[in-house]
Structure 1
Amino acid sequence: MRTVLVGYGHAARNLHRAAIEESAVGRLVKDMVAVDPGCAVEDADLKVYPALGELPGVSRSDVFHVTAPPADHAPVVEEIVALGGRRIIVEKPLTTDAAAARRMAKVCADAGAELYPIGVWNFSSGVERVKRELDAGRRTLHYEFEQSKNRIGRTLSNPSHSSSFEVELPHQVLAAIWLFGDIVDVLHAESRPLRHVGREVPHAGGAYVVVRHRSGLIGTLVGHLDKERRTRRLRVVCADGDLEVALPRSRDETSSFFKDSAGRVVDIPDRPLTECLVSAYTAGPAESQARFNVDTHVHCIDVLEAARRKAGVP
C-alpha cells in the first residue's frame, strides 16, 4: 500500500503524516510520497512530485490524501480518479461549493472510487460520549460550540483559505449534524476581518453562525482565528442540566474532558484524527457509510454557503 499526500503543507506534513506514522496503519503503508508543485522543502525521507501526472504506477491500492487548498479539491479528486486512483481521503471542507461537491461525488461513484471526507469529530470519544447522552433521551434546549485559535501568521502568509468559513466552521457544522440532525436554516451569520500590524484580511478574523435543525433545536457556532488561546468546547444545554466537553486542541493533547449535568468531569482518551484516518484505511462498507457519509458533507457545504451569503462573504 502506498500513501500519496496531495498538497504537502501543514495538514499533510504535521497532521495526516504524523497520525499515520504513529498508528497501526503505519505498518500497512509500504511507501509514502507527496505531490505539491509549490513545495519549498522536501523531507529527506519522502519524495515530493511536482504534479500528479508525474506520479509513477498509480494503482487501486494507493491511498490519496487530498490536503490541497479547498478550492482545488474537486479538480484534484477528478484528476486522481482519471489516473486510476480509487481510494481518496479529502480534508474538510470537501469543496468550497455544493455543486462541485456533488460533481465530485458523482465522478467517484461512476468510477467505483471510495471517497472518504474528513470529519474528525465523528471519531472523537468526547463527542461520542455527548451523543450517547443525547441518544438516551436528554431533552436539548440549545447548544454552543466554539473552535477558536491564533491563526494570524498562517492567514497572513498563506491565502489557501479565503475566509473563516473554511477553517474551523466545517468541523463544527459536521459535528452539529452528527449530533443533532440536519440543519434546515441559517438564522444569522456574520464575519469580521483579521487585523494585524496594519494589515487587514476581510472575513478572516472569525465567524459567528446561528442555525436551526429540523427538530427545531437552535445552536450557535463560533470560530475566532485571532484568539491568544486555542479553544475547542461544546456546551449542550439540556432541560435537566448542561453537558460540556473540552476537545483536544492539538495533536499533543490526547484526551477530552467531559462534564456531566452533575458537574462531574471525566478524562476520556481521544485522538479523533488518528481514529478517522485509521478507519478510512481499514473500515468496512457499513462504517464507511455512517462515518464518511458524502451526503452529510455536501449538506455541510450547503449550510456554509448559506452562512457565507448571509454574512456577505464572496
Structure 2
Amino acid sequence: MENTGVLRVGIVGAGGIAPPHIEGWLTLGADVSILRRTDADLLAAQHGLRIVDGLDALIDRVDVVDIISPTPTHPDVARAAFTSGRHVVCEKPLATTASDAREMIDAARAAGVRLFPAHVVRYFEGYRMLHERIPEVGTLTELTFRRTVAAPDAAWFYAEDAGGGLIRDLMIHDLDQALWLAGSVVEVSATQDPPAVGGQVTPPVSAHVTLTHANGAMSHLRADWLEPGTPFRSQVEVAGAGADGILRFDTDAEPEDDAPYRAQLADFVEAIRTGRDARVTPEDGLAAVALVDAAYASLAARRPVTF
C-alpha cells in the first residue's frame, strides 16, 4: 500500500452487496473508484465515486481491489490485481471451487500481497460474542444453523455449474461459522429440495447439510431461498455437555445495519498496516469453499462423503 495517507480502493462489481462495501470504505476515509459496468453509474452518483473504464486502469490507480462481482469472475480479477502488486478483498465465496481458491491464495503469496475473504458474518457482534463464549458450554455436541432470505434477482445465482447455487452462495456463511465454532470436518452429507435440474436451481428451494466434526460434534445447517419479500433471518444454536450447555443467537434480536461490513473492512486495513492476520484468513476462505465442494459432491452421489 502506498503511504499517501489516503487508502485508494477500486470496486469491481455493482450488485446488491455493493452499497455496504462502498459505505464502509467511505466511512474509513478511503478514496473509492468503481469499474464501469451495469448499475455502476447509479452507485457512483449516489456515493460520489469515480468511474473508471477498464480493469487495468482501475487497478493502476488503487491500493486495494475489492471484488464483489459474480463468483466465477473472482480468480481472473484477483490475478490481475496480484500481478500489479495490489491487495485484494474478495466477497465470499473466494471462488467456485477449492482448487481455484487455492490458486488465488498461492498467487497472492507469490506476489507478496494480501488476500482477504469477506466472510462478514464473523464480524456480526452476536456471532463474535457467541464464538467467544464457546468454552462456557463445555464439550460441543450439536450446532444448528438456519439462514433464510428472499431468492436473489440475478439469473447467475441459480446456475450451480457456473458458480451459483444455494449452498455455494447462501449457506457458505454458516459453513464458515460451523468451522469457526466447532473446527475441522470429517464427513459431509447434503440434500436439496427441489434438486437442481440440468445444473439449474428453481426457487423456492431449501438445502440441508450435516457436518461431522473431527471433535465429534455435529452441525445441522439449513438454507432457504424463498418468495420475494421474505425477510432475511439467520439463527444459530450451539449445544454442549457443560452446565451452561446452550448458546443461541438470532439476527431478529440484533439491529440490522452496516456495522459488520465497516468492522470487516477496518480489520482488513489494520491487517495490511500491521502485517497481522485478519479475523478471517485466506485459509478460512479456502476451507469454506472446500466444504461447499464436498456438499455438492454429496448431492451428486446421494450419500455422505468423507472430507
Return the alpha-carbon distance in structure 1 between the equivalents of residues 67 and 295 of structure 2: 25
Count the aligned residue pairs. 281
String of CA shifts for 1:152-189, please: whole Å, max 9, x gaps.
54458986852102222111111111111112210x20
Identify the residue that residue 245 of structure 1 maps to in structure 2: 249
Identify the residue that residue 46 of structure 1 maps to in structure 2: 49
Return the alpha-carbon distance in structure 1 between the equivalents of residues 112 and 76 of structure 2: 17
Identify the residue that residue 288 of structure 2 maps to in structure 1: 300
Identify the residue that residue 92 of structure 1 maps to in structure 2: 92
Higher strand share: 1
SS of corresponding position for 2:138: coil
- Matched AA of 1:52: L
Unaligned runs of 5+ in 1: 255-269
Identify the residue that residue 262 of structure 1 maps to in structure 2: none
Identify the residue that residue 16 of structure 2 maps to in structure 1: 10
Identify the residue that residue 304 of structure 2 maps to in structure 1: none
- What RMSD, in angstroms, separates the aligned Cα atoms of the two structures? 2.8
Identity over the aligned pairs, expressed in percent? Answer: 22
TM-score, normalised by the number of residues in structure 1? 0.80
State how 1:85-234 maps to structure 2 within 5 Å: 85-136=85-136, 138-155=138-155, 162-186=164-188, 188-193=189-194, 201-202=200-201, 205-226=205-226, 228-234=230-236
Q: 1:298 to 1:277 in 2, by over 3 A?
A: same
Return the alpha-carbon distance in structure 1 between the equivalents of residues 114 and 209 of structure 2: 32
Higher helix share: 2
State yes or no: 1:74 paired with 2:64.
no
SS of corresponding position for 1:104: helix
String of CA shifts for 1:26-67, please: whole Å, max 9, x gaps.
x2x1x21111444464432223334212337435xx121111
Return the alpha-carbon distance in structure 1 between the equivalents of residues 192 and 155 of structure 2: 15
Return the alpha-carbon distance in structure 2 between the equivalents of residues 303 and 234 of structure 1: 18
String of CA shifts for 1:111-156, please: whole Å, max 9, x gaps.
1011111122222221222222212452322111111111254458
Q: CA deviation at 1:81?
A: 1.6
Q: CA deviation at 1:213?
A: 0.9
Identify the residue that residue 305 of structure 2 maps to in structure 1: none
Q: 1:279 to 1:175 in 2, by over 3 A?
A: same
Identify the residue that residue 265 of structure 1 maps to in structure 2: none
Given that residues 169 and 223 in structure 1 are in contact (C-alpha distance below 8 angstroms), is that contact kept between their aligned partners in structure 2? yes
